[in-house]
């Protein structure tokens, strides 16, 4: 699964492992401030729980991230949680896994599997939404060349999102990042040949 993904809305899943209850809540967030506010709210809601472990990844590529074991043995909760988010390509998301201890110790390996598994169960509840970075171009095209241009745009995977018809056709294009280089070469080639005018 390539690229980066987001969730469109919050999701919650609960699972029991050896009498302990693990409740995973995932929430879409766009800033570190939002992530911390969400973590604080869930922790307050479950203040009677033994642990409220958390992780978040923010930014277009998850470049801002942090996690906490919240009292569990070091490396057994926050790290597996953030690793699971990363493995799924998730960003702009915060996760809190609340644990109500059931009296049976799980050991380090058991805790790692439980916290990672709780986050994965939350991720698996619904399909993820691919995060697509788009670049816009505005191009003026003379009418005799318009059909040829629109065919080339389609072949390159670009999308016409707006058109204004005056003395020429003025198209606004959106291009996904992975198709950007090829589309730029096409537009620059047509521009150099005098067939279109690249406005922006």
Q: pLDDT at position 2, please? A: 59
Burial (CB count <10 Å: 0-12, 13-18, 19+), residue 24: buried
Superfamily of domain 4-130: Impact, N-terminal domain (3.30.230.30)
Q: pLDDT at position 168, please? A: 94
Q: pLDDT at position 1, please? A: 46
Q: Enumerate the domain spans of the chain.
A: 4-130, 132-198
Helix, strand, coil tally for the chain in percent (to 5): 35, 35, 30
CATH topology of domain 132-198: Alpha-Beta Plaits (3.30.70)
- pTM, rounded to two decimals: 0.72
Cα separation, 189 vs 107, in Å, equals: 63
Residues of the chain with pLDDT under 50: 1
CB distance 119 to 24 below 8 Å: yes
pLDDT digits (tens, 9 = 90+) for 154-190: 998 899 989 999 999 999 998 888 888 899 999 999 9
Cα separation, 59 vs 46, in Å, equals: 28
CB distance 57 to 92 below 8 Å: yes
> Within 13 Å, how many C-alpha atoms sit on residue 124's CB side?
9
Q: pLDDT at position 177, please? A: 80
**Terminus-to-terminus CA distance in the chain, angstroms?**
33
């Amino acid at each position: 699964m390539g690229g980066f993904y987001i969730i469109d809305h919050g999701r919650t899943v609960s699972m029991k492992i050896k009498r302990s209850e693990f409740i995973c809540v995932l929430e879409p967030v766009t800033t570190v401030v939002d992530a911390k506010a969400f973590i604080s709210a869930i922790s307050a809601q479950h203040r009677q729980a033994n642990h409220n472990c958390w992780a978040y990844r923010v930014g277009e590529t998850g470049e801002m991230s942090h996690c906490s074991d919240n009292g569990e043995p070091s490396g057994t909760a926050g790290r597996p949680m953030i690793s699971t988010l990363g493995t799924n390509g998730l960003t702009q998301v915060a996760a809190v896994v609340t644990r109500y201890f059931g009296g049976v110790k799980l050991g380090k390996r058991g805790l790692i599997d439980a916290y990672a598994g709780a986050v994965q169960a939350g991720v698996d509840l619904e399909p993820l939404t691919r995060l697509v970075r788009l670049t816009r171009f505005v191009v003026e095209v003379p009418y005799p060349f318009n059909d040829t241009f629109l065919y080339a745009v389609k072949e390159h995977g670009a999308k016409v999102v707006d058109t204004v018809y005056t003395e020429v056709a003025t198209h606004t294009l959106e291009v996904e990042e992975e198709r950007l280089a090829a589309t730029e070469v096409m537009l620059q080639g047509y521009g150099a040949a005098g067939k279109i005018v690249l406005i922006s």
